[in-house]
């Protein structure tokens, strides 16, 4: 009955929700069913960016969709596990089933659990909707109670929100408990942990590969690849359209310090979070101008997927009045403001500059050799 209501709701014009609800009730659907159907249609439309064509038949909760792994990221993770020889995986904290689906499609048998009965039910519905139920068991169950003797791999995505929906930043407040999460690798060596991008490197399990993932420039998650899955100390993985790029390194190397060059690169957030700025700088023969700032300077522009390139046109005054005068002399009206290592509030600065010219410009608020600096930039097409 719900799927019929969803189909009817999907056929309605995407406009006034009150009119849509009235139309569904007029078609014989009870108010609560009409509301549920309209919610699912709205979530399915929103989910296309994460799940592509699969979204048309999947079921969602608002929180579940927001927290779900993007399908390409989950597919790559599943392929890596399968390539390592995994055949049976426990998905602890499966959410609405994004990773469970990817594991099943990669040929793995999956035991998926979630502490929330509603969420587990949604995951089960998605597995069935996509024709993957034969190789998947979904249960509403506490992750700490799942026997692991019948699996050869574990994927754990601990809950990082309170029951009220607020984000949890301290891993000690995760569910299941952090001690349980980091102890999984001792029980099942092929363990992968999905973590928040802001996770402290010091909290990663000893010997684990720390991976930070970005999608079209947005850092979406971190992961710890444990035991035999660890291929490098640190990895930055960038999904850009249909392409995937990977940069690896120690995560402890310091980039060489030099002068402001003709060009500056703003590294992708995954590169910065994974502490691979030095490794990135080596790929473009670059240096940094301050040991605490991730901007990488070069003498020439080198094509790279790992950072956005700008030509350095000038170094402007830091003082507000002098900066305003310099930008007005350039007839600047619209201003893009980049920032690394500056305490200035971008929007407050924009208002204070009171620019009214006709030309666009880009500036970077940063530090050079420990001192505040403002750089006038021009984007370089790559």
Residue predicted with more confidence, 137 or 42: 137
Residue predicted with more confidence, 31 or 80: 80
Predicted local distance difference test score (pLDDT) of residue 161: 66
65-231, CATH topology level: Rossmann fold (3.40.50)
User: What is the percentage of the chain residues whose pLDDT exceeds 90?
Assistant: 84
Cα separation, 179 vs 74, in Å, equals 25
Q: pLDDT band at 4, cuts 50/70/90? A: confident
Average pLDDT over residues 329-342: 95
Domain boundaries, the chain: 2-46, 65-231, 263-379
DSSP 113-148: EES-HHHHHHHHHHHHHTT-GGGEEEEE--GGG---
- Lowest-confidence range among 31-45, 83-97, 188-202, 207-221? 31-45
Predicted local distance difference test score (pLDDT) of residue 192: 98
pLDDT surpasses 70 at 1: no
In tens, the pLDDT along 200-239 reads: 999 999 999 999 999 999 999 999 999 999 999 999 999 9
Q: pLDDT band at 165, cuts 50/70/90? A: low
Peptide bond into 176 cis (omega under 30): yes
Cα separation, 182 vs 55, in Å, equals 33
Model pTM score: 0.92
What does DSSP assign to residue 376?
Answer: E
Kindly provide the residue ranges of all beta strands, DSSP E only, lying in 187-280, ordered along the sequence: 191-195, 209-215, 218-225, 234-240, 243-249, 263-267
Average pLDDT over residues 120-124: 97
Predicted local distance difference test score (pLDDT) of residue 25: 75
- Lowest-confidence range among 3-12, 93-102, 265-274, 275-284? 3-12
Give bridge partners of residue 209 from the DSSP assignment.
Answer: 225
Predicted local distance difference test score (pLDDT) of residue 22: 76
pLDDT surpasses 70 at 268: yes
A 10 A CB-CB count for 326 gives 17
310-325 in b/e form (b: 16+ CB < 10 A) is bebeeebeeeeeebbe
User: What is the percentage of the chain residues whose pLDDT exceeds 70?
Assistant: 97
Cα separation, 71 vs 81, in Å, equals 15
Cα separation, 271 vs 247, in Å, equals 8
């Amino acid at each position: 009955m719900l799927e019929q209501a969803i189909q009817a709701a999907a056929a309605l014009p995407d406009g006034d929700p009150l009119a849509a609800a009235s139309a569904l009730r007029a078609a014989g659907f009870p108010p609560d069913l009409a509301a549920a159907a309209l919610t699912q249609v709205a979530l399915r439309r929103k989910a296309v960016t994460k799940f592509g064509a699969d979204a048309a038949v999947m079921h969602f909760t608002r929180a579940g969709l927001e927290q779900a792994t993007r399908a390409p990221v989950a597919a790559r993770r599943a392929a890596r596990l399968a390539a390592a020889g995994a055949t049976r995986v426990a998905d602890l904290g499966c959410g609405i089933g994004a990773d469970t689906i990817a594991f099943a499609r990669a040929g793995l048998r999956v035991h998926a659990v979630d502490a929330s009965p509603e969420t587990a039910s949604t995951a089960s519905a998605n597995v069935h909707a996509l024709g993957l139920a034969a190789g998947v068991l979904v249960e509403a169950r506490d992750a700490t109670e799942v026997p692991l003797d019948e699996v050869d791999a574990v994927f754990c995505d601990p809950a990082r929100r309170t029951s009220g929906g607020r984000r949890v930043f301290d891993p000690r407040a995760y569910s299941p408990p952090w001690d349980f999460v980091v102890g999984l690798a001792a029980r099942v060596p092929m363990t992968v942990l999905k973590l928040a991008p802001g996770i402290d490197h010091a909290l990663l399990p000893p010997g684990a590969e720390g991976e930070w993932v970005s999608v079209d420039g947005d850092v979406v998650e971190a992961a710890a690849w444990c035991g035999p899955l660890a291929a490098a100390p640190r990895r930055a993985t960038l999904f850009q359209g249909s392409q995937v790029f990977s940069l690896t390194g120690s995560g402890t190397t310091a980039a060489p310090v030099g002068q402001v060059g003709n060009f500056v690169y703003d590294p992708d957030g995954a590169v910065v979070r994974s502490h691979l700025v030095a490794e990135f700088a080596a790929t473009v023969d670059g240096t940094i101008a301050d040991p605490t700032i991730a901007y990488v300077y070069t003498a020439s522009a080198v094509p790279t997927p790992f950072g956005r390139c700008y030509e350095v046109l000038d170094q402007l005054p830091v003082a507000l009045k002098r900066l305003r005068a310099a930008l007005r002399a350039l007839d600047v009206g619209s201003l893009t403001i980049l920032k690394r290592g500056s305490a200035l509030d971008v929007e407050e600065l924009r208002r204070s500059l009171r620019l009214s010219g006709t030309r666009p410009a880009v500036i970077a608020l940063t530090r050079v050799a420990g001192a505040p600096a403002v750089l006038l930039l021009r984007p370089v097409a790559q």
